[in-house]
């Protein structure tokens, strides 16, 4: 049974249960959503109607919530007379159904039945539960916009791998992607740029055509509801106080007007760290309170991500307004000013029953107790945060930034960063060894990040994500041994079957033999970094 991620416990018996035309679903209380999903997906792939049935009939899939199991834990039993999927909550039932789909073979992931197929499940019992509660993927749609149908497709891909957090990076210097009705110029102006750098920021190549797009509020509601049906939480990110040139281009008063002519700024067309950051004024705070008010209406998630990374302080050092604010607040320096800025929204979100999360730079100016940290600059930020009592999501750049290249070969398209092979990702350990058990309890989980500067379309995102995201999903879900002891050869054997599922899903993954001719980008310069990545 070539399942990914690897279940905690499996017992196989001789024989199979075959799904016939009379096969139906008994959906217990709380499992109606999984039954509806199965009729839409498994029904499409098999051509079976999957009608409602009662428990005393043959050929029934029994779905039930079972007290005593952990929330995301499930038990899948395939018996000669029928199939049982039990979960500790509706989410657990859904993950069990995903495992059942894998057992049916790759064609169960198609959208229409193929002729001559028979559908059977091996007689088996599986008991399974996740290692982490936060099993996330960050998708950057600011650098290159992904239309709504592509986002919905990615949610399906996350669900198929039992990943349950979608970190939605919606704003940056290069584009603002969510409709804010109070401030229409954020999308009228901020959602598109006149041209785009092709390749790394040092590249001489440009795509000389406008690029843009945004999600309406109804689009966002649809995305959030679609995710919720798949037991995925959408965590939005609105970047402050750096990575904000698109917002400043739309509303110049948000920038440091006493240092630069912000009316001359446009949405940025290149990559890197941008010097144009938000002004630390009451006007800016009130503006973003208005933004977050609408964001909270759209996203019911516990956490709201505020960025907080890569905020150059040069304009604040030169700004009389910023320097006066530092004196007025009795702060030590510009790092303290950023800490005050983030702290304002930490208090603001806490008062509304939400929790702030940001990149690990938010630690530098002091951090309120309830805030959480996305540790991206290695492990150190996560260690410091956990030791200070903050919850942490481990997503170190050197380990699980999937925009980094997969191989050192010359054919890798637009090579960025360190080489992170499939095996490297499989041997990634999210919990730093130096944490005590009490400190380690602050590690909520882990997340793989997809930054799209050099991913111009859905196929490029597929190539960078897969198959490494399958390895990451197993790290996040399964209780694997220490990295050096993990059975990578066994994972590769199971992955050989999983490629068939990805093919059925239309995923343009990187083949194990290297990129296909149309996946290459000859002549487009990247930014490769030689040697092994630091492990700290």
* Residue positions annotated with a catalytic role: 172, 243, 310
**Residues sharing a CB contact under 8 Å with residue 246, sequence separation 6 or more, in sequence order:** 142, 171, 172, 173, 174, 175, 176, 186, 190, 191, 267, 268
Question: Radius of gyration over alpha carbons of the chain, in Å?
Answer: 24
Which residue has tokens 């009389």?
320
Count of C-beta atoms within a 10 Å radius of residue 55: 11
Residue pointed to by tokens 């694997």? 480
C-alpha to C-alpha distance for 381 and 19, rounded to whole angstroms: 51
Strand segments (E) across 151-285: 165-169, 171-172, 175-176, 192-193, 196-197, 206-207, 211-212, 233-240
Question: CA-CA distances (angstroms) from residue 69 to 86, 344, 436?
Answer: 9, 40, 27
Nearest to 39 by CA among 52, 30, 56, 57: 52
Q: Which pairing describes strands 9-18 and 24-27: parallel, antiparallel, or unpaired?
A: unpaired
The two tokens of residue 243 are 């990575």
Peptide bond into 5 cis (omega under 30): yes
String of DSSP letters for 423-487: HHHHT--SS-TTS-HHHHTTEEEEEEEE--TT--SHHHHHHHHTTHHHHHHHHHHS----GGG--
What ranges in 136-184 are assigned the alpha helix state H? Answer: 148-160
| 142, 171 Cβ separation under 8 angstroms | yes
Largest separation between any pair of C-alpha atoms in the chain:
78
Tally of residues, the chain: 536
DSSP assignment letter at 27: E
Q: At what angle do helices 32-46 and 217-229 cross, to 10 degrees?
A: 90
Q: How far apart are CA 475 and CA 481, in angstroms?
A: 10
Q: What does DSSP say about strands 9-18 and 120-128: parallel, antiparallel, or unpaired?
A: antiparallel
Residues sharing a CB contact under 8 Å with residue 459, sequence separation 6 or more, in sequence order = 508, 519
For strands 60-65 and 82-87, give the pairing.
parallel
Give the integer Cα–Cα distance in Å for 534 and 536.
6
């Amino acid at each position: 049974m070539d399942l990914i991620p690897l279940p905690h416990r499996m017992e196989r018996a001789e024989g199979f249960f075959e799904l016939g035309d009379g096969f139906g679903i008994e959906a217990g209380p709380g499992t109606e959503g999984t039954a509806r999903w199965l009729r839409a997906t498994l029904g499409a792939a098999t051509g079976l109607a999957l009608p409602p049935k009662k428990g005393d009939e043959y050929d029934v899939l029994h779905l039930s919530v079972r007290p005593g199991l952990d929330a995301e834990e499930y038990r899948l039993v395939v018996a000669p007379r029928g199939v049982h999927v039990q979960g500790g909550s509706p989410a657990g039932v859904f993950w069990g159904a995903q495992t059942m789909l894998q057992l049916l073979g790759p064609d169960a992931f198609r959208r229409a039945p193929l002729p001559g197929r028979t559908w059977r499940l091996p007689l088996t019992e599986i008991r399974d539960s996740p290692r982490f509660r936060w099993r996330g993927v960050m998708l950057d749609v600011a650098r290159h916009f992904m239309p709504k149908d592509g986002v919905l497709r990615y949610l399906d891909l996350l669900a198929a791998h039992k990943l349950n957090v979608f970190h939605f990076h919606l704003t940056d210097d290069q584009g603002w992607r969510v409709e804010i009705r109070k401030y229409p110029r954020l999308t009228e102006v901020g959602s598109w740029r006149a041209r785009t750098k092709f390749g790394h920021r040092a590249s001489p190549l440009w795509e000389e055509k406008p690029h843009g797009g945004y999600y309406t509020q109804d689009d966002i509601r649809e995305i959030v509801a679609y995710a919720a049906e798949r037991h995925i939480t959408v965590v939005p990110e609105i970047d402050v106080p750096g990575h904000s040139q698109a917002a400043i281009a739309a509303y110049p008063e948000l920038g440091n007007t006493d240092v630069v002519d912000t009316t001359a700024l446009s949405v940025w067309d290149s990559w890197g760290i941008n010097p144009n950051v938000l002004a630390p004024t009451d006007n800016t705070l009130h503006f973003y309170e208005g933004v977050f008010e609408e964001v909270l209406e759209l996203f019911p998630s516990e956490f709201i991500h505020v960025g907080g990374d890569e905020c150059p302080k040069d304009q604040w050092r030169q700004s009389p307004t910023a320097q006066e604010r530092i004196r007025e607040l009795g702060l030590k320096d510009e790092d303290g000013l950023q800490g005050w800025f983030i702290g304002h929204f930490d208090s603001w979100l806490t008062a509304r029953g939400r929790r702030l999360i940001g990149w690990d730079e938010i630690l530098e100016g002091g951090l309120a107790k309830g805030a959480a940290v996305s540790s991206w600059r290695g492990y150190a930020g996560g260690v410091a945060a956990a030791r200070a009592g903050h919850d942490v999501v481990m997503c170190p750049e050197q380990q699980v930034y999937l925009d980094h290249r997969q191989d050192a070969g010359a054919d890798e398209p637009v090579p960025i960063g360190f080489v992170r092979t499939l095996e490297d990702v499989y041997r990634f350990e999210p919990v730093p060894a130096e944490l005590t058990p009490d400190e380690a309890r602050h590690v909520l989980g882990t997340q793989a990040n997809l930054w799209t500067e050099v991913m111009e379309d859905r196929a490029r995102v597929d190539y960078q994500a897969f198959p490494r995201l399958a390895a990451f999903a197993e790290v996040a879900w399964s209780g694997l041994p220490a990295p050096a002891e993990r059975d990578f050869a066994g994972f590769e054997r199971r992955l050989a079957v999983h490629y068939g599922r990805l093919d059925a899903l239309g995923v343009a993954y990187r083949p194990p033999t290297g990129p296909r001719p149309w996946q290459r980008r000859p002549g487009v310069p990247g930014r490769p970094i030689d040697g092994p990545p630091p492990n700290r």
